[in-house]
Structure 1
Amino acid sequence: MSQVASSDDHDFSWRARENQARLTADLQPVYDFVVCGAGASGSVVARRLAENPEVRVLLLEAGGSDEAESVLDPALWPTNLGGERDWGFRAEPNPHLNGRELSLSMGKGLGGGSSINVMVWARGHRSDWDFFASEASDPAWGYNNVLDIYRRIENWRGTPDLTHRGSNGPVWVQPAPDPSPVALAMLDAAREIGVPTFDNPNGRMMEGPGGAAITDMLVRNGRRHSLYRAYVHPWLDRPNLTVLTEALVRRVTFDGRRATGVDFVHEGEVKAVAARVEVVLSLGAINTPKVLMHSGIGDRAELERFGIPVVQHLPGVGRNLQDHVSFGCTWEYLEPIAPRNSGSEATMYWKSRPELDAPDLLFCQVEFPVPSDRTAARGVPAHGWTMFAGLAQPASRGRLRLQSADPLAPMVIEANFLSDPSDVTTALACVEFCRDLGNAQAFRPFVRAEAMPGDISHEALRDYVRDAAVTYWHQSCTAKMGQDEMSVVDARLQVYGVDALRVADGSIMPRVTTGNTQAPCAVIGERAAEVLRQAHGF
């Protein structure tokens, strides 16, 4: 069977390469749909549209192939940060972080973030999706409907749960296999301090106050199973789906107020392609608002400052930037323990205050030290583990600004982490909770001592939080869905005030979901494809 499977895989790979070589060598001037960005949402949209053989889809990706060990080997994910598969965004110096300038990694290449991230599959909390539905005034975004979408897209390999998990979809999801003893110790420690544990983190656990579980991962047969691999890769031999890499989208083109296509840079030349039906932007929470602004969609004053003709005044473009902010607490091992799988196998969601009805804290155990640029100077153990814990529902909001009329110039990113005082209060509670967890009896067989922050309080602890804060790389919410004046898209992901243009990625979130964002981005892609098929009758 393995020889047959290997032969079939080889035959498919050959057909796919030959097909895409033909299609990209003969780019057409017009496609039915142009999908910009082959990340966690764009891959879903492109595949679902191309499932109709009569529909011609062009998928444009600024980065390159995912055929690299640094992508496909789950243990090598950290090697992609700061490299060619990372956009390498940087936030402005932040006075609320003692003047620090944070790196904001985001995936560049086939699969986007799902090709360089930690492979965690986290659906968010019931309350997230019900909030989306309320903001959009559309029950299709509510938890009950989204749960149906998750069941449809999952191929769940853990303990069967017919209520919450699916088993026939394209996305292979499995619990971290043979987890490290320190991951199992984290579950024991959680129970020790009163946090319930669950079979997996994507069922009942995220319908109530939270809990702890072994992480769900997008890994198949020991290899990363990105959303590009799940959705687009099996479709590369189809004649109606063209995937063009190294194609950087500059702007959307318009005829009046109707989107007609995009301009993009490929092989050093500016090229244009038309969309007969619609354009879909799935470029992520930094590049989607950037392209909108350079296309004349955004705050009128911001656009006119750089002489960009205004197509539609939407002041919310680039506003409402959110991210999960983490504060690493580290323990030194008694004896070295090698990381397993991705090096992050246990997760927890919990509340900073008992009166909350949903978790506001996010915890991922990392099986090696993860200091910030500042906390590294405090002394990092050669061997240890980190509770990478942070704010699941931050109150602080950031903003993106243009610095030039040149579409290739980087954005100014004002992340504003910890600018809201309530986030500092929650961060202090988060760090204290981490210390209770990491110093629990369950870790005694593995841990020599707490390395940081140690037993500090008051201003010293506040200073530690500002020095330790780093991003979870969950940038989102910069083109939010809603009905108020700061909303950019409606419930059907149409950009307000223009025709034939939708956004489908993490930028449309009204608020960041509780947990890692790639699974919610897959749902956003599925919803976009549904509404496009409904709108155009196929």
Structure 2
Amino acid sequence: MTSEEDTYDFIVVGAGPAGYALAASLSRAKSKPRVLLLEAGGKNDDETKRVDGKRWTTFMEPTMNWGYKTVPQEGCSGRVIDYSRGKGLGGGSAINFGVYTVGAKDDYDAWGEKVGDEVTFGWKAMQRRFKALETFDGSIELPEHQKYARPDPADHGHDGPLKIGYAKEWEKDLPLILDSLEESGLQRNLDHNSGNPLGMALMINSASGGRRTTASLFEQRQDSDWPIPNWMIIHAPVTRTIFHNKKVIGVETRSQSGSDPKIYYATKEVILSAGTLDTPKILMHSGIGPREDLEKYGIRVVQDLPAVGQGMKDHFNVPLVLRRNPETNDRNSFYGSEEAMSAALTQWNEDKTGPWTKYGCQIVCGWFKSDKIKTLPEFKDLDASVQDFMNRETIPQYQIISGFPMHIMLPELFQDHSYICLLGFLMNQQSSGEVRLQSSNLEDPLLFDPKALTHPYDQRAAIEIYRHLLEIAKHPAFAKDTVSTIHSSPSESDEDILQYWKDNTTSSWHMTGTVKMGKEGDVDAAVDNRFRVFGVEGLRVADMSVVPVMTNNHTQATAYVTGATCAEVLIREYALDEE
């Protein structure tokens, strides 16, 4: 017998960007369905974890990070790579680095093509949802800085829950860096969120007024009071779904106190939004996944679905770190003084202003095509459809970021803070990873194996990407303010550059595609273009695990729009906007 207080119309599992966007949209439908949002972590309501300039250290908070690691990576010198995943309300948006990029319009058009629904998933529909999600502040206060960005208001939203934009104050050397990068040959992009990310741009931040923006802002919409009567948030980790025959009717949660597990029931649907690393775990422990793996650990097979856990993609990156002329910046006066940083935190606590809304708050980024990469044998050996995709107008082969505060990650490298870190990111990797069960124990995470840098194309492209970073560093416009090299490949040979990647590459935490969306009959797909898990009823997945294209961006924006898209599908199917 089910209890009415434990029964909802919809249950959403996971309060990250996708889950929050989904639950909030459902709860605001005209028919006011009862929505339960279940989150395994805590409230994450400590205001000091929202300081804009401290966005680079929040992932180090053990209560906010599941602390996942990969298995040793064969393509990366046998290294174990950090696979941080956000824990608690906001999910990854509570611990990421505050980069808000939507990607290329061709990413979304390709998504629509792959799943047979360009109306729902193509760029036109996705851009409409991106605009509905954001309140964008594109203002730049100093007239001499306004040449660096010129976003078109028609490409942005102005009354959504997510407050994004540019930092009000910039570090002293930011204009100098932007100018020197342009002089070195990098085309300027006046708005990387227009649908075409190609070129070097002023980064749009998931921050506003000195405070980080996380998915929890969906609770604070000005057009409604909180708590919303038909929306409940409960903190409890979900272990598996509950079936009646092959229809999902609820979820089982693990008790925090050690008492018996608790079951919550859904009269309409359960939607998993636990992310690329954990949604497959819930599916597998529910009996949905590769038969061989489930039977190996004594899990009853409800639906043999080999694609679950397969096809994982990610973006990997390496740094080039250079010591700079200290007269070009004033970072030592801040990062080099505990007294200055402490006083700045006091000021931020008082009015959300001061140095912690300046230092580390505005960086630059850009995505690029490479004629050299497209002439390589490793590129020409790719499937024709992959080559066609990478030849589309807005699709890059790599990304460059400037201004990353590397001293936070590798403090032992730095005698002072007058340096610049250029990061090179491999886009559209061809290595394909997986996540697999390691036991039947519900407490054990899956085994995460991205198989980084194992594909010949990835290795060759990585070499060319880093060689471009070195070319930028040697250009007179850039080199005039460089004092020495702090961290780099020991030489410019192919062998040394590739080994440098293998020894130093890190994940961008953009894991995607382990419960891939596709057409009926696609062997690599686990859900259809209505987010429904193949072979069962009443169960959908809406998070980065379903995204069938490794979008060319930092993926929090795609996670938000995935949740919003699933909500639209459900609202339409269940006629929730009909009173």
1:150 correspondence with 2:150: no
CA 57–342 in structure 1, closer or farther in 2 if over 3 Å, else same: farther
Residue in structure 2 matched with residue 13 of structure 1 by the alignment: none
Residue among 445, 449, 457 paired with 1:422: 457
Q: Which residue of 2 aligns with 1:11?
A: none
Partner of 2:378: none
8 Å CA contact retained: 2:105, 2:196:
no
Alignment partner of 1:89 out of 46, 62, 68 = 68
* Alignment CA distance shift 1:54-1:295 (3 Å): same
Q: Select 2:268's aligned residue among 260, 273, 277.
A: 277
Please name the residue that 1:320 is paired with: 311
424, 446, 449: which one pairs with 1:411?
446
Q: Please report the TM-score for the alignment, with normalisation by the length of structure 2.
A: 0.83
Distance in 2 between the 1:63 and 1:458 partners?
A: 44
The alpha-carbon deviation at position 160 of structure 1 amounts to 5.5
Alignment-derived partner of residue 368 in structure 2:
350
Match of 1:433 among 434, 458, 468: 468
* Runs of 4+ residues over 6 Å off in structure 1: none
Cα-to-partner distance string for 1:510-533 (whole Å, 9 max, x where unaligned): 132101001111110110100010
Aligned-pair CA distance for 1:344: 5.2
Is the contact between residue 398 and residue 414 of structure 1 (CA under 8 Å) also seen in structure 2? yes
Q: Distance in 1 between matches of 2:4 and 2:505?
A: 45
Q: Distance in 2 between matches of 1:199 and 1:228?
A: 29
Quick one: distance in 1 between partners of 2:83 and 2:279?
Answer: 15
The alignment status of 1:466 with 2:502, answered yes or no, reads yes
Q: Is the 8 A contact 1:34 1:57 kept in 2?
A: yes
| 2:288 paired residue number | 297
Partner of 1:239: 229
Are the aligned partners of 2:109 and 2:122 in contact in 1 as well (CA < 8 Å)?
yes
The answer to whether residue 277 in structure 2 is matched with residue 286 in structure 1 is: yes
- Alpha-carbon deviations, 1:279-326, whole Å to 9, x = none? 011101000001010011101111111111111111110111111000
Describe the superposition over 1:10-51 as per-residue Cα deviations: whole angstroms up to 9, x where unpaired. xxxxxxxxxxxxxxxx99220111111000100001101111
2-structure distance, mates of 1:166, 1:27: 39
1:442 Cα offset (Å): 3.8
The 3-state SS of whatever aligns with 2:430 is coil
Alignment CA distance shift 1:364-1:381 (3 Å): farther
Alpha-carbon deviations, 1:353-383, whole Å to 9, x = none? 365442110222234326988xx98x55532
Residue in structure 2 matching 1:267, options 249, 256, 269: 256
Matches within 5 A, 1:125-274: 125-139=104-118, 140-158=120-138, 161-203=152-194, 205-206=196-197, 210-229=198-217, 231-234=218-221, 236-245=226-235, 247-268=236-257, 269=259, 270-274=261-265
Q: Deviations over 1:400-419 (max 9, x none)?
A: 11011122112111121001
Matched, 1:76 2:114: no
Cα distance in 2, alignment partners of residues 168 and 73 from structure 1: 23
State how 1:7-22 maps to structure 2 within 5 Å.
none
Instruction: Tell me the CA shift for residue 80 of structure 1.
Output: 2.6
Q: Within 2, Cα distance between the matches of 1:389 and 1:150?
A: 26
Partner of 2:529: 491
Q: How does 1:357-506 map to 2 (within 5 A)?
A: 357=392, 358-369=395-406, 379-380=413-414, 382-383=416-417, 384-444=419-479, 446-453=481-488, 455-483=491-519, 484-506=522-544
1:487–1:190 Cα change, 3 Å: same
1:176 and 1:27 map into 2 onto residues whose CA distance is 47
Aligned residues: 505
Distance 1:431-1:27 versus aligned 2 partners, 3 A rule = farther
Q: SS of 1:103's equivalent?
A: coil
Q: Which amino acid aligns with 2:132?
A: R
Shift of 1:249: 0.8
8 Å contact from structure 1 (residues 176, 345) kept in 2? no
Specify the code of the residue in structure 1 equivalent to 2:192.
P
Report the more deviating stretch, 26-35 or 357-366: 26-35
1:57 counterpart residue number: 35
Q: What's the secondary structure of 1:45's corresponding residue?
A: helix
Question: Would the aligned equivalents of 1:370 and 1:386 in 2 still touch at CA under 8 Å?
Answer: no
Q: Distance in 1 between matches of 2:366 and 2:214?
A: 23
Change (3 A) 1:396 1:430: same
Q: 1:107 to 1:332 in 2, by over 3 A?
A: same
C-alpha RMSD of the superposition: 2.1
C-alpha displacement of 1:345: 1.4
Identity %: 30
* Residue number in structure 2 paired with 1:9: none
**Equivalent-residue separation in structure 2 for 1:193 and 1:510 (angstroms):** 35
Distance in 1 (CA, whole Å) between partners of 2:462 and 2:174 is: 23
Q: Classify the secondary structure of the residue corresponding to 1:266.
A: coil
Is the CA contact (8 Å cut-off) linking 2:203 and 2:363 kept in structure 1?
A: yes
1:115 corresponds in structure 2 to: 94
Cα separation, partners in 2 of 1:371 and 1:101, compared to 1, 3 Å? farther
Paired residue for 2:548? 510
Deviation at 1:180, TM superposition (A): 2.4
Matched-pair contact (CA < 8 Å) for 1:360–1:391: yes
Letter paired with 1:505: D
Instruction: Mark the CA change 1:343 to 1:218 in structure 2 (over 3 Å): closer, same or farther.
Output: closer
SS at match of 2:49: helix
User: 1:88, 1:353 → 2: CA distance?
Assistant: 39
- 2:321 alignment partner AA: T
What amino acid does structure 2 have at the position aligned with 1:431? Answer: Y
State which drifts further: 441-450 or 255-264: 441-450
Counterparts of 2:265 and 2:155 in 1: how far apart (Å)?
41
Checking the alignment, whether the CA contact within 8 Å between 1:156 and 1:172 is kept in structure 2 is yes
2:82 to 91, 103, 108: 103
For the 8 Å contact 1:212–1:348, the answer to whether it is kept is yes
Higher mean displacement: 380-389 or 115-124? 380-389
Q: Secondary structure at the match of 1:88?
A: coil
1:155–1:169 Cα contact (<8 Å) kept = yes
Q: Deviations over 1:442-495 (max 9, x none)?
A: 435643223231543132222111111100111111111112112011111111
Structure 1 stretches lacking a partner, 5+ long: 1-25
Partner of 2:55: helix, strand, or coil?
A: helix
The 1-side partners of 2:361 and 2:456 are apart by: 33
Task: Please name the residue that 1:6 is paired with.
Answer: none
